[in-house]
Structure 1
Amino acid sequence: MRAKDIMTESIVCVNVKETVFDAAELLLGAGVSAAPVVNDKGNVVGIVSEADLIHRAEIETAPRKSWLARLLDSDGSAARDYVTSHARKVADVMTRDVVTASDEATLGELVALIEKHRVKRIPIVRDEQIVGIVSRANLLAALLSREPEGASGHPDDKQLRQAVVDAFDTQAWKSRWPVNVVVTDGAVHLWGFVEGEDVRKAYRVAAENVPGVKRVKSHLRSLPATVGMGV
């Protein structure tokens, strides 16, 4: 899946020439917490969020610094705080360093951008024009679209056991000690020893992902690290 497959296309944008009051009205009316800021050509030049608009002199929420903080504050920092709380134009309060992605970006690339830049949403562009936006909610919707619907047919216990064993054999974390798989009426039981709790959990998850498995009961035991080192 790619950005174009999950993005929200009916996006709300703020023109860079508008005021902070226009932006606040737009965010409230659309029920969104942030919106891309565009120029007259539709190019993304920034993003404005609720966080950019809540520290305002008009409602007496401008940041209040202690006397020590004011003493140590630089002139530039004080000036920036003043602009943030008093500016009337969106261009003066918006975040200019906007992280964007192509509509051909994979979901893996989008998640990497969200994590790297610590943002909640990514504007999607095509030929320098904004065409959509992907938020974390869109990614959750993509996950739900891949929810398993259950196995087609009804594999018998023998087929199910082989499928579970095959699922383990391809994993890099497979235990060096044998793991016995017993299947009864679709319920998978795992017996044996593994190298720690993480591997134990991985075995359970891998079995749960095999189509047709009704439930998994893990009887696996974690061996002490000293056993793995041959002590």
Structure 2
Amino acid sequence: MGKDLKLEHELIQQAYAKVALFRDAQAKSKQTINYSAFSAYSKLAVANNLALAAMCCGISHSGSLSKREITENDRNIATIIAHFVQSIDAVEICISNGMYAAASTLVRRNMEAVEACRGCFEGKQKEGRTPVLKALKHFGRLYGNFSGLAHNSGFTLMKHLSGSESASIDPIENKEFGKILLGVHIYCVLGISDALRYTHQGIHESRWLADQRNFHQKSLDILIEERILIPSTDESLSNEA
């Protein structure tokens, strides 16, 4: 017996109609959060652009260097940085649209990218092994929170972000958590910028490119001002949460 093409077409149209309503509701929620984000994260948005500018300086400078022999470690570091850079837009979109669980997964991965670069430079990063939190150890508690969201096991935080009484399928704005995510993301961008200061021989350059140093320092100043970093104790707001 052949297919009833008319019924099949109607079924598909009904599915599209339901999905259209779902996507419209999601889009409205995200648009409201996105609009609010412009004012909520105004200072951190500046810090973010400064950090990205510093990273871009490092990428341009690194690309101008030459080396007779490219090692497997060089390729590993380049790959880590490439995947980090590719995901920057995704992180920003998730944060600004209130998709905090997805953003947490990406920021957690960015933290691991910074640590993986460090591990490669030290010759300790092994294939298939999760990077050890060392350079970003002051964000240890946040890393645990992000991991809970990434693994769907941090129920307390998951309920807090989706509504404790009745979990909402539409994004709910949480400016405080969004600020934390963006702040850690910016610090990771600065970590990659710093990693790009290593020479191909694995020696850290003490000399900064003038623009890169200025962008980097001003971004750090804003992170301190916004209490993402607290330099007096080398602690971050992660340990206050």
Q: Same fold (TM over 0.5)?
A: no
Per the shorter chain, which TM-score range? under 0.3
More strand by share: 1
| Greater gyration radius | 1
TM-score, structure 2 normalization = 0.21
Q: TM-score, normalised by structure 1?
A: 0.22
